[in-house]
A and B are shown apart, each in its own frame.
Chain A
Amino acid sequence: MPKTINPLVFTLAFVSGFIIMAIELLGGRILAPYFGSSIYVWGSIISVFMLSLSTGYLIGGRLSLIRPDLARYGCFFIFAAFTLLPAVLFGNGMMDAVFLRIEDPRYGSLVASTFLFFLPVAILGMIAPYSVRLLVESSHRSGQVAGGLYFISTLGSALGTLMTSFYFVLWFEVNQIFLTMAATLIAAGTISILYNKFMVP
């Protein structure tokens, strides 16, 4: 893998970090009309995110063993975008159904956030270990590469949290933010695939 892909992978890792936390923050907004804004609603959301990220890390690491390239990497972003859409399209219908079946808002919010966020966040989680694989050239530098990637994607997460809570909710509707994030993911994935096709020898 040529060195020139480094800036691309770093940028894409930043984007995924940004979007993961923006989704998490909006998750509270999406669940509040059905389950309130009590502390256990946040408990549900954070637990589901941690669980789906950990699953994503595992699968992403596994997939990085099989002919890793930027095209597959780009596909993760595009899949993540499409799995994000049901939250926009069917979110309320789904939460209605959960609300009717589960009385306790603790378990209601846990189930609802699993349905809404598990898949897209797990796929976004796959990006982190896969990025490491794309960048690592030798085992003795692997720690440094991983450190750099954590740095950039966590920086993205911090910025995603800040921008969403300070400004995006003031400027846009929740669904507009979600659709913009999905579009961004699709654009990021497409760039990665095209780069692989035309720039990588």
Chain B
Amino acid sequence: MRLMLMILLICSASLAEAERIIHKEKSLYRNIEVKESNNRRCLVFAMRGGDRNQSCMSLSDPDRVVFPYARMTFAGLLLNPEPRSILIFGLGGGTLPMVLSALFPEATVDVVEIDEAVLRVAKQYFNFVESEKVKVFVQDARVYTKRAAIRKQKYDLVILDAFTGDYIPEHLMTVEFLQEVQSIMSNGGVVVANTFSTSKLYHHESVTYQTVFGDFFNFKSPGTGNRVIVTTGNPLPSKLVIQSRANRLSGKMTKYNVAIEDFPRNMKRGKDWNENLRPLTDQYSPANLLQGD
């Protein structure tokens, strides 16, 4: 017993030693920390009862996409392999816009991030750079979408990745919001949404996406609690088509540690959720209460 305690103490001490906080700030929305440990630098939204890593970068190989869910997001390319205009909600460390812009130098990448501090941190600590093609709008995603619809803007690829420390904000999970997103998608445009799959909300969220987009690819990776929804306004391509696209893209993606050729296997079309639940709407969206169940 005493021995075990000692081992525990030594382990936790060495863990604490290994992790270094290199930046800390209180933004308008949350507490932001940048931590380093084991060759990784992570953007953390600090919360009591567990910090949430938003984005991590490998220090020795910054091109590597570290998080499985971030890698899964590239499944959108299997539905539209050559996006010319990309919209991303939620900047995090800026991994997705940087990789997408490197993959498609001709494409415009618009990023919407509500928190100015996150943008500052991404630039300072995560090599994020704004450019002619990559632009960040410090704004609420819902407001941006409505304005983009009025401007009649269209995007080939829309990635929904707006997370607070807790989960996705409630007004970014409703039928009405997704309809607004749909209205700014080009013909053949693709939407990719990063969600969790571990609570009752999973079912409500699935029904909500189904209501707006119809069938979608339900993409889960073994060993993660993430689920990525991938869909388009057009009928979904066959498994054969996405597998051949994946094989073609796989060379380009190796550098980023994205094994895209393995994705189609886990992109399921079956419905493993309770279809009788009601979709989330602006009128009914207790999303973050359901998440607790």
**Complex CA–CA separation, A105 to B29 (angstroms):** 17
Q: Indicate whether A65 reaches chain B with its CB closer than 8 angstroms.
A: no
> Does A33 have its Cβ within 8 Å of any Cβ on chain B?
yes
A174 vs B286: C-alpha distance when bound (angstroms)? 11
Stretch at the interface among B142-150, B191-199, B233-241, B256-264: B142-150
The yes or no answer to A142 lying at the interface (CB within 8 A) is no
With an 8 A cutoff between CB atoms, is B137 at the interface? Answer: no
Task: Judge whether A34 is part of the interface by a CB distance below 8 angstroms.
Answer: yes
The CA-CA distance from A173 to B142 in the complex, in Å, is: 20
Structural contact, A32 and B171, CB atoms closer than 8 A? yes
Q: Are A38 and B283 in contact (CB under 8 A)?
A: no
Q: How large is the interface on A (under 10, 10 to 19, 20 to 34, 35 or more residues)?
A: 20 to 34
CB distance from A112 to the nearest CB of B (A): 12
Q: Which residues of B contact A100 (CB under 8 A)?
A: 150
Assess the A38–B140 pair: CB atoms within 8 A.
Answer: yes
Give bound CA distance, A39 to B27, whole Å.
12
Q: Which residues of B contact A32 (CB under 8 A)?
A: 142, 170-171, 282
Q: CB distance A33 to B176 under 8 Å?
A: yes
Question: A80: shortest Cβ distance to chain B, in Å?
Answer: 22
- Any B CB within 8 A of the CB of A51: no
A33-B177, A37-B140, A105-B143 in contact; A173/B171 too (CB < 8 A)?
Answer: no
Residue interface bits B24-67, CB-to-A below 8 A is 1, else 0:
00001100000000000000000000000000000000000000
Contact of B28 with A169 in the complex, beta carbons under 8 Å:
no
**Binary interface encoding of chain B residues 55-92 relative to chain A, with 1 for a CB under 8 A from any of its CBs, else 0:** 00000000000000000000000000000000000000
B105 within 8 A of A: no
Q: In residues 30-78 of chain A, which contact B (Cβ within 8 Å)? A: 32-39
Known contacts: A173-B284, A174-B283. The answer to whether A36 contacts B142 by CB under 8 A is: yes
Is A37 touching B282 in the complex (CB atoms < 8 A)?
no
Enumerate chain A residues within 8 angstroms of B171, measured Cβ to Cβ.
32-33, 36-37
Which B residues form the contact surface with A (CB < 8 A)? 28-29, 114, 139-143, 146-147, 150, 169-171, 174, 176-177, 281-286, 289-290
22 of the cross-chain contacts (CB-CB < 8 Å) are A29-B170, A32-B142, A32-B170, A33-B142, A33-B176, A33-B282, A34-B143, A35-B140, A36-B139, A37-B140, A37-B169, A37-B170, A37-B171, A38-B140, A103-B147, A166-B289, A169-B284, A169-B285, A169-B289, A170-B290, A173-B281, A173-B283
10 A-B pairs with least C-beta separation: A36-B140, A173-B283, A32-B171, A170-B286, A169-B286, A173-B284, A36-B143, A174-B283, A33-B282, A170-B289
- A29-B282, A174-B282, A174-B283 are known; give 5 further A-B pairs, CB within 8 A: A34-B146, A36-B140, A37-B140, A39-B28, A173-B284
